[in-house]
Structure 1
Amino acid sequence: MAYARHQSFYIRDKWFSKGLREVKRNSRFLLEEGSFEKIGLGKNMLEALKYWLLALGVINEIQKHGQRSHELTKLGNYFFENDKLLQKPETLAILHYNLVRNKEDQSTIFEWFFNVYKETSVSKPDLIHSFTTWVEQREPKAISEKTLKRDLDCLIQFYAKGPNENDPEDMIFSPFSSLSLIKVEKSGEGFDRIKKKSLSIENIGTLALYYVLLEYAENKKVDLISIDEILNGDFLWGKVFNFSRNKAVEALNLLAEDQKKPIQYVRTNNLDYIKVPKLSPTELLEVGVNEGVLK
């Protein structure tokens, strides 16, 4: 498991597009001396940018000509070509899902908070205590509480640090704040309440919801997914987006009406399932681009 590799910096507005552009131009950019000056960031910020691009699943680290370098993934290329400024909710929702999915074990705090931790409203001290206890039960070596607190602080800012309405030139906000997944309620120093929020379907986009279902089906090698799984299963809507049953059913009805690749309802052994078509997540994105969803 990995902790605090973000150097305490949540991703800033425009970092995503700058990072992808430079990696596409020069595969060694994030590793070269002086790159931080060229991109207009501090050294630690550049390290944070590299971390976020890897954790979001839009670049890979590879060995090239005996040297480490980076390349855009298929997902990174799609978003660079179609939404590098992160203006579409579908893009943000898919990237959020990638953090929660934690495929390369780089975003432990995101997986824990959204996929493991069940509370939807908690004081900050209790949240820190819960995360520390969870880590202690799983790590053979001690991880300092200061490190874990930095992870939680960064997670909260990642989703709650929005633009300054009084300063239109403020560029230090997180683009993921527009998802409104986390709300911070001030209640005295050190005792803020952290709340998970349930997103509207419009805030996520049906393309992103479909993408998550297809990823799940591909990883599990299934084409039938129960409604209960969608609500309670790991890395599915109930946990990743804090969906209620009513909202999940509403979204599934929209996907069932898809003109080209609809899902199907199936009832087996008195349980409700949906059947997803033979379609990969990558193919779904191609359909989305062709239909203008990500343009």
Structure 2
Amino acid sequence: MAYARHQSFYLRDKWLSKGLRAVKHNKRFFYIEDSFEKIGLGKNMVEALKYWLVAFKVIEEILQDGQKCHKLTELGEVIFNHDRVLQYNSTISILHYNLVTNSDDQSTVFDWFFNVYKETSFKKDDLLNSFKVWVSQRETKEISDKSLKRDIDCLIQFYSKKANEDDPEDVTFCPFYRLKLLNIEPSASEREKINKTSPAINDISVEALYYTLLDYCNKEDIRLLSIDEIINKKNMWGKTYNLSRNKIIEALNRLTNHEIYPITYVRTNNLDYINVPSISAIQFLQEEHGMEVRV
């Protein structure tokens, strides 16, 4: 499991675009000594940027001519060509999903918070204490409290650091606040209440929900999935996006009307299932954006 690899820096506005363009231009960018000067960020910020790009699964490390370097993944290519400035919530929702699925143990705190932690209303110190207990039960070596606190601080800022409406040049906000997954109730004390919130379907986007559904089914090698699984299973809509049963049904009903890949309902043993088309998540996304599809 991984902790505090973000150097305490949540993703800032335009960082994703900077990182993708840098790797696209030079696969060795993150191994260049003065890369921070070329991109206009501090050294620790550049390390954080590399971490986020890997955790989002938009770049991957490869060996080329015996040297370590990075290249854009297929998802990275789609985002680079169509939404590298994160204009659309569908892109942000897909990147959020990749954090929650925690591939290769890159983003432990996100996996824990959305898939494991059951409280919906809490104070920050209570959240931190719960995370410490969970980590201590799973790690054979001691993880510093400082690292765990950094993870919790970063997690909260990630979904709550809004743009300053009075400053159009503000670049310190995190675009992920637009998903409306967290709400902080103002308080004069440091023990302000934090709530997991259930966003509207359009805040997440049906496109992103379909992408995550296809990705989940392909990883699990299934085509038939019950609605209860979509609500309750790890990495599925109910946990990943805090969605209620009613909102999940609303999204599924919309997907039955998809022009090319409609899902279908199946009733088996008095349970409602959906049948998902046999197409990869990335192929679906490429087709949605009119890109050449790799089969």
Q: Distance in 2 between matches of 1:47 and 1:276?
A: 39
The unaligned stretches of length 5 or more in structure 1 are none
Name 1:249's counterpart in structure 2.
Answer: 249
Shift of 1:287: 2.1
Q: Distance in 1 between matches of 2:25 and 2:290?
A: 25
> Secondary structure at the residue paired with 2:103?
coil
Name 1:272's counterpart in structure 2.
Answer: 272
The residue type equivalent to 1:26 in the other structure is: N
> Secondary structure at the residue paired with 1:139?
coil
Name 2:3's counterpart in structure 1.
Answer: 3
Shift of 1:144: 1.2
Name 1:92's counterpart in structure 2.
Answer: 92
The residue type equivalent to 1:66 in the other structure is: G
Q: Distance in 2 between matches of 1:205 and 1:167?
A: 28
2:288 corresponds to 1:285: no
Are the aligned partners of 1:19 and 1:49 in contact in 2 as well (CA < 8 Å)? yes
Shift of 1:185: 1.6
Q: Distance in 2 between matches of 1:284 and 1:169?
A: 35
Name 1:156's counterpart in structure 2.
Answer: 156
Q: Distance in 1 between matches of 2:259 and 2:22?
A: 38
2:229 corresponds to 1:220: no
> Secondary structure at the residue paired with 1:274?
strand
2:130 corresponds to 1:130: yes
> Secondary structure at the residue paired with 1:69?
strand
Render the CA deviation track for 1:82-107: whole Å, top value 9, x for unaligned: 10110111100000000000111110
Alignment of 1:1-295 (within 5 A): 1-290=1-290
The residue type equivalent to 2:145 in the other structure is: E
Percent of residue pairs identical: 58
Are the aligned partners of 1:181 and 1:196 in contact in 2 as well (CA < 8 Å)? yes
Q: Distance in 2 between matches of 1:7 and 1:81?
A: 28
How high is the TM-score relative to the length of structure 1? 0.97
The unaligned stretches of length 5 or more in structure 2 are none
Shift of 1:159: 0.9
Runs of 4 or more, structure 1, over 4 Å off, are none
Shift of 1:258: 1.1
Number of residue-to-residue matches in the alignment: 291
Higher mean Cα deviation, 187-196 or 235-244? 187-196
Render the CA deviation track for 1:113-169: whole Å, top value 9, x for unaligned: 011111111111110110000000000011111110110000111111011112111
Shift of 1:288: 1.2
Q: Distance in 1 between matches of 2:192 and 2:141?
A: 30
The residue type equivalent to 2:43 in the other structure is: K
